Structure 1
Amino acid sequence: MTESRRKFRREGEAQRQGDLIAAALDLIAEGGPQAATVRAIADRAGVTPGLIRHYFHRKEDLIAAAYSAFAEQMTADHRTMLEGAGPDPLARLSRYVDRALRPPLTDPRQVALWAGFLHLVQSDPEMRAVHRTAYSAFREELRLLIEAAFAAEGRTADAARLRVEATACNALIDGLWLEGLVLSEEFTEAELARLGVAKIGALLDLPLERYLEE
């Protein structure tokens, strides 16, 4: 087999797997994990159920791959938050919190997927491992931002303190994110973001509100 044919096959297989993962995500967002049956996934992707088993030994493997893809996309969305924030560590932390509470991360589809996957995390070790990896990535980004902001203010903190602060800030963001999506009529987009920046600034004793954008 020539190199070009091998490359074409790899790309074709990756596309097929991507289509199956996208179909699973759509079904979970619409009806929860119970809606993502092998038959429903196959129908949505326009393939036979047998093709699913060709790429994934079990349906659970496909669902875990879908959760991993979902988490990776959220991580990528988080990283794009800092584009245009400039070098000021406080401005970067403020922008990170602000953007975490605005679209696309506050798309209602996100909370539907998160809620569906969270149910599985409690009972499936593979899903739990995916969740742990994603959570650790979010918390580490926050930890680095907090450490830099503290340094800019002439403050130092050891690893244990930074871990606690990042955990608390992540929990505050998650809580506002979830409440803002479930009760979207209660908050304007700007209100939720400003609330997050103000409360994390107070939690860390950092003047983050001065960097808020209108």
Structure 2
Amino acid sequence: MSGTARRKFRREGEERRRQDLIEATLDCVAEHGLEGATVRAIALRAGVTAGLIRHYFPGKEELLQAAYATIVGRMTEQAKAALSLADTDPRQRLVAFVKANLGPPVVDERVFALWAAFTGRANSDPALAAAHREGYLGFRDEVEALVAEVLAAEGRAATKAELRAHAIAVNGVIDGLWIEGCLAQEMFEPGELAGIGIAAVGTLLGFEIGMEAGR
């Protein structure tokens, strides 16, 4: 094996170990909360020593921050993945995005428990607060771009301030229905929350839009 291949193999191995530690952290937080996710508990879950964790992360706080960034990024990426499968029609892309955010695997009790645990600590942890803002703004930027596409296709000019307001409102609809679905998923029919969300988004943007637009 060449020196370059060995370095690549070692780097990939280190990335896998780092990700394994993040996954173990998420499991501990989901089961025991932030306080119960001690370095010792995480090490036991990952099958490593506490000393090895410190090789990858200076301390527990940095590990928690990486874990939170992972869960937020995963939620956003799962929704964005739906866009690659959607038609190029702007309305269909918006519908696909809303549907992806209001159904499994994004709507999930464990995902909500993790999100709630981390965000509940954001006010007292500047690093977690920064990660939360970054995740929120990244998601909102995605929504704003989709809204801009739809309005442009409708021949409707919109200022930057109007697009921002639309994105905040659409994000609010998605967030509210997502929380409802995570807390009581069994109370809703399959696709019900997505249908409500799509209709609400259409109303906010001033046109009728239905689930069939995303098919």
Q: Tell whether the structures are fold-level matches, with TM greater than 0.5.
A: yes
The secondary structure found in structure 1 opposite 2:107 is coil
Match of 1:177 in 2: 178
Deviations 1:82-136, CA, capped at 9 Å, x for gaps: 1332111111111211221011111222101111111121111111111111111
Match of 2:212 in 1: 211
Match of 1:8 in 2: 9
The secondary structure found in structure 2 opposite 1:104 is coil
Q: Are the counterparts in 1 of residues 78 and 100 from structure 2 also a CA contact under 8 Å?
A: no
One-letter identity of the residue aligned with 2:4: E
Match of 2:18 in 1: 17
Aligned length: 214
Q: Are the counterparts in 2 of residues 24 and 36 from structure 1 also a CA contact under 8 Å?
A: yes
Match of 1:71 in 2: 72
1:184 and 1:84 map into 2 onto residues whose CA distance is 25
1:84 and 1:3 map into 2 onto residues whose CA distance is 36
TM-score under structure 1 normalisation?
0.94
Deviations 1:142-176, CA, capped at 9 Å, x for gaps: 10111111111111111111011101110110010
The secondary structure found in structure 2 opposite 1:57 is coil
Match of 2:98 in 1: 97
2:192 and 2:47 map into 1 onto residues whose CA distance is 42
CA distance change for structure 1 residues 213 and 142 in 2, over 3 Å: closer, same or farther? closer
CA distance change for structure 1 residues 50 and 210 in 2, over 3 Å: closer, same or farther? closer
Tell me the CA shift for residue 213 of structure 1: 5.4
Match of 1:108 in 2: 109
CA distance change for structure 1 residues 210 and 54 in 2, over 3 Å: closer, same or farther? closer
The secondary structure found in structure 1 opposite 2:210 is helix
Q: Are the counterparts in 1 of residues 28 and 37 from structure 2 also a CA contact under 8 Å?
A: yes
Q: Are the counterparts in 1 of residues 95 and 214 from structure 2 also a CA contact under 8 Å?
A: no
Work out whether 1:131 is the aligned partner of 2:132. yes
Work out whether 1:195 is the aligned partner of 2:168. no
CA distance change for structure 1 residues 150 and 3 in 2, over 3 Å: closer, same or farther? same
TM-score under structure 2 normalisation?
0.94
Q: Are the counterparts in 2 of residues 21 and 66 from structure 1 also a CA contact under 8 Å?
A: yes
1:91 and 1:3 map into 2 onto residues whose CA distance is 45
Work out whether 1:46 is the aligned partner of 2:29. no
2:119 and 2:77 map into 1 onto residues whose CA distance is 20
Unaligned regions of 5+ residues in structure 2, if any? none
CA distance change for structure 1 residues 85 and 4 in 2, over 3 Å: closer, same or farther? closer
Match of 2:122 in 1: 121
2:183 and 2:7 map into 1 onto residues whose CA distance is 46
Tell me the CA shift for residue 80 of structure 1: 0.8
Q: Are the counterparts in 2 of residues 146 and 162 from structure 1 also a CA contact under 8 Å?
A: yes
One-letter identity of the residue aligned with 1:54: H
CA RMSD in angstroms, aligned pairs only: 1.6
Deviations 1:23-75, CA, capped at 9 Å, x for gaps: 00111122221221111000000001111112111100000011111122112
Identity in percent: 48
The secondary structure found in structure 2 opposite 1:103 is coil
